Amino acid sequence: MVKHMGYDCIVVGAGTGGTTTARTLAMKDYKVLLIDKKKKEAVGDKVCGDAIGKHHFDTLNKLIGLRYPTKEECEANIDGIDVISPDKETILKITGEGVKGYMINRLKFGQRLLDATIDTGVEFLDNTSVISPIYDGDFVAGVLTRSSVSGEKKEIRGQVVIDASGVTAVVRRKLRNSNIERNVQNEDVIICFREIRDLTQEIDDLNYCKIYLTQSIAPGGYVWVFPEGAKRVNVGLGVQNTPNNPHPRQQLYENVLSDPLFEGSKVVHKGGGIVPTRRPIWSQVANGLLIVGDAACQVNPIHGGGIGPSMMGGYLAATTVDQALEKGDLSERGLWDYNVNYMKGYGAKQAGLDIFRLFLQLTPDAEMNYGMKHRLLKEEDILNASLGEDLVLNLTEKVKRLFSGIGKLGLLNRLRKISTKMQEIKGLFQNYPSPEQFEVWKSEVESVYEDTWKILD
Ligand SMILES: Cc1cc2nc3c(=O)[nH]c(=O)nc-3n(C[C@H](O)[C@H](O)[C@H](O)COP(=O)(O)OP(=O)(O)OC[C@H]3O[C@@H](n4cnc5c(N)ncnc54)[C@H](O)[C@@H]3O)c2cc1C
């Protein structure tokens, strides 16, 4: 076992979250080591829907000078999203500044983020898997690594470790006692299979991402067809990770790729992936440790978008580390502001959407068809909810009559109650507690979930 010189900060994982964290820290002149198990040229090569909202760039450009996607990185500009009902009879066309975005080439984008990070002075160690955290007393003091080239194991020490290892959450899963949950429930995870395909024909709408809601084909998840050029699409399917659910690859092949659109098409890239789709983990800090990105479940629970949140999480984590290093306090308490800052912003939005996610997962196709057809939720409601604003139902007498007459009052009432729970949980996350109040706050959050389960039962 070889011992290594110490760093100020060790970042595990060079994805979108890890590179943003490492770069922000290096911009503040810290000695940063970034570690990834992949070889350098493969960093960023991830199975993904490749869609990212412009607003993430607007924010991060101001904060750390993150450049907007270049022409080479951008496969298509996105103006909106079509949300399609299970029977395909209703299409909600969601447009507006909040949903404008890009389809990016994930590898090129990832490589650009990595290069920009290395350019700020970050030391990068590739082909190296982190195996576990190492401890000094009850503080995380570094990581144990293994080189995939030589097989050599090393202990690398740093004042603070940031776990940005994505859904594998390699450090989080091996933590000793802390307020961080080591495991995430299977039901809070979506397993996906997706392909990028070259088509023989041009697609209809080059600037719209299509999301198909269908419990029968994609139980607990959805089907997506996103444009990556006139004749190229990113097509995938995700299902909730519960024991009886079908395999997403089989569902994609049998129910989606059988569509005439894909006749004669060729696969450019394919693979499976996992997305955590829930509220953020309870706490994202422990003594000497912070967690960023998918490892902290910083993903939009409705559509699974996590590139933007992971970069924002990385920025916030780095800012807290900077202050904690200045004060010389890397304890859980010294790092707690990261929890507060993340939760009162994107975390609160995620928590509200997590409740809405449970509603969507437990609404049968027939009810969804009816609700969408009769605009129980209108385009602007969905846009506002997805942007983290409150879900306000403007129910006219006509809508109420329509739903009560046809025996769908249950759906309407459920949605009304769910929107209240969404507001409650958002309020709790916006007022994230001090370490002393943490257990009380947790039980308040749990009680909102208990109410939600009763509503959806
Ligand atoms: C099928 C699918 C579709 C998606 N579609 C979209 C989408 O359209 N838009 C969107 O915004 N998000 C999407 N997401 C989610 C998005 O990809 C993630 O939320 C985002 O990549 C999170 O970034 P991250 O930095 O946390 O993790 P990652 O980008 O996964 O990076 C983690 C890094 O850690 C490294 N690593 C892992 N384990 C170790 C270890 N033990 N030691 C060292 N290094 C390690 C990995 O090699 C990787 O480079 C999708 C995800 C999936 C699976």
User: DSSP labels for 215-265?
Assistant: TTTSTTS-EEEEESSTTEEEEEEEEE--TTSPPHHHHHHHHTTTSGGGTT-
Q: What is the pLDDT of residue 382?
A: 75
What's the CA angle centered on 246, arms 244 and 250, to 5 degrees? 165
Backbone angles phi, psi at 187, to 5 degrees: -65, -15
| Residue from 168, 277, 292 to probe ligand 1 pocket by mutation (most atoms less than 8 Å from CB) | 168
pLDDT at 1 over 60: no
CA distances from 147 to 125, 127, 220 (A): 9, 6, 38
pTM comes to 0.95
Among 142, 117, 111, 129, which residue's Cα sits nearest to residue 26? 117
Q: Which atom of ligand 1 is nearest to the CA of 308?
A: 11
With a cut of 60, say whether residue 201 has pLDDT above it.
Answer: yes
Task: With CA atoms as reference, report the closest residue to 50 among 6, 87, 95, 104.
Answer: 104
pLDDT band at 399 (very low <50, low <70, confident <90, very high): low
* Region(s) of the chain under CATH 3.30.9.10: 186-276
Instruction: Spell out the residues 6+ positions from residue 54 whose beta carbon is closer than 8 angstroms to its own.
Output: 68, 97, 100, 101, 102
405 pLDDT above the threshold of 70: no
User: Looking at residues 54-59, what average pLDDT do you find?
Assistant: 96
Q: Measured from the CB, is residue 354 less than 6 Å from ligand 1?
A: no
Which superfamily does CATH assign the domain made up of 186-276 to? D-Amino Acid Oxidase, subunit A, domain 2 (3.30.9.10)
Q: Is the model's pLDDT at 74 over the cut of 70?
A: yes
Q: Is 47 in the pocket of ligand 1 (CB under 6 A)?
A: yes
Judge if the beta carbon of residue 50 lies within 6 A of ligand 1.
Answer: yes
Checking if the pLDDT of 4 tops 50, the result is no
Residue 2 has pLDDT above 60, yes or no: no
| Phi and psi at residue 53, to the nearest 5° | -70, 145
Residues spanned by CATH 3.50.50.60 within the chain? 2-50+105-182+281-330
Are the beta carbons of 277 and 301 closer than 8 angstroms? yes
- Is the pLDDT at 135 greater than 90? The verdict is yes
Gyration radius from the chain CA atoms: 22
pLDDT of residue 377: 76
Is the shortest distance between the CB of 313 and ligand 1 below 6 Å?
A: no
**Ramachandran region of residue 24, left (φ > 0), alpha (ψ -120 to 50) or beta?**
alpha
Does ligand 1 come within 6 angstroms of the Cβ of 130? yes
Mean pLDDT of the chain, nearest integer: 93
- How do residues 335-370 score in pLDDT, each as one tens digit? 999 999 999 999 999 999 999 999 999 999 999 998
Answer CATH for 2-50+105-182+281-330 from 3.20.20.140, 3.50.50.60, 3.20.20.70, 4.10.140.10: 3.50.50.60
